[in-house]
Amino acid sequence: MDAAADADWAISLNGLQGPDQLGRVWIAQPLAIGDDRLVFSGHVANAGNGVPVTIKHGNEVLASCIAAPGFVVDVPARKGVFHVCMTVRQDQGRDVICRWEVVDQERQRLSLTGMVKRGGPSPDIPATGAQTLLGRMGQLFLSNDTNDSVAQFTRPGVLDDVSVLSWTDLFSRFPAWKSDFGLNRISLLVAPAKEEILRDYYPFPRASGTMFDDFLKRFRDEPVIMPRWELWNARTLSFAETDTHWTDFGAMIAAQTVLQRWELPVDGMPSAFAVKQKIGDLGGKLHPPSSNFELCFNEKMSDRLVFDNGIHNHGCVRIYRNPTAPIGGKLLIFGDSFGTNLAESMSYAFREVVYTYQPAGVDPELVAMVAPTHMLLQITQRFIHGAQATNHSIFEKGRSKIARMGEAERAKTLAHLAATPEAFRPLVAPLLESR
């Protein structure tokens, strides 16, 4: 691929596969026609009977043409990132998409370090509210969230004293919890941020000595599991383009990492996945919404879900049972939204998995009620700067949520709880107190 040395646009190959079968490909600098059109042109050495070319901006197709061997096509002028996509039919009859990324000079020079020094917002990051940040090759990332995840990734920093004391206290409790609750294993699993795994797709460079680096250094001798490199080996399959969370496939890799660290068998983990189209939490913020195809579990997890108290996020308790799983113990997970499909992944290994939404925050009352053999505290990378909800009651959070519901929703939730089978009544009774 050739491009002018004094380019206003940076052009680079970022396809699923190299363009060897196309021979030498030349893509010219886009040329402006007035203020509202851009002309893309190029030449394909081994064009054969013609190579289909598509010009995209984000997920929007702006134009299509045929390189035979050259092509010229004009599109609406836009800022940011374009993709020139060529479709190649291989001998086996399989289509391969080769993609070139065309990035304007403003986007190429964008530097969060400069933004911080100026003290003003980046033109790519709106002033208020959690937003979607466009990365390379259509990858979406989170920005302007309450945890300031962009700054966590791009600025050096250390944990504040409150966070250090909170984590130190949490880890100091592990031996007593293991003894008092009869646990075989207890560990903390940190779910890596998407930008940690797909850092070369992220529009800003990673800083050295970040707050997360400080966390890992301070607590390197504690039972912390961070599957950064395990996920890196299959990273474009482990994180969805339009979501902050790992895919079911990524959750399975994290689960395998925990099992291996605990010296437990991983042979029950799935080897085949379905491909499904989803609108992620980031894609849903776009107008129109953007979707992607990702690897999902083949099995219906609803068949394993034997209990769900019907409360979303904080206060949620779910139980999965899989009588064919190789490990006869019971796993209790205190986690966040990454823990949802992590729990489903663990149901391939453990015959019973209990998941509750309280990031790395242990509720001793629930532990005593569940009587697990293994306990996993899970938290997302961008949450590590805070203090864990240790000793906070899951049931108190549930009661508080029910009290704040509208009349119709509360009636529906209470009816759902009242219909709970007798075996799970101990998990329901605390939610019905003082209603």
Are 203 and 107 a contacting pair, CB within 8 Å? yes
Strand-pair category, 9-13 with 95-104: antiparallel
pTM: 0.75
Q: For the chain, how many helices (H) and strands (E)?
A: 14, 20
Average pLDDT over all residues of the chain: 87
Mutual orientation of helices 161-180 and 211-218 as an angle, nearest 10°?
A: 40
Radius of gyration of the chain (CA): 25
Using one digit for the tens of pLDDT, what is the confidence trace for 144-158?
Answer: 889 999 999 999 999
Residue 86, phi-psi category: left (phi > 0), alpha (psi -120 to 50), beta (remainder): beta
Instruction: State yes or no: pLDDT of 121 exceeds 90.
Output: no
Using one digit for the tens of pLDDT, what is the confidence trace for 229-272?
Answer: 999 888 889 999 999 999 999 999 999 999 999 999 998 999 89
Query: CA quadruple 111, 116, 120, 121: dihedral positive or negative?
Result: positive
Quick one: three-class SS letters along 11-42? Answer: EEECCCCCCHHHCCEEECCCEEECCCEEEEEE
Using one digit for the tens of pLDDT, what is the confidence trace for 38-97?
Answer: 999 999 998 888 999 999 987 789 999 999 999 999 999 987 778 898 887 765 555 667
Domains of the chain: 9-108 (2.60.40), 161-432 (no CATH)
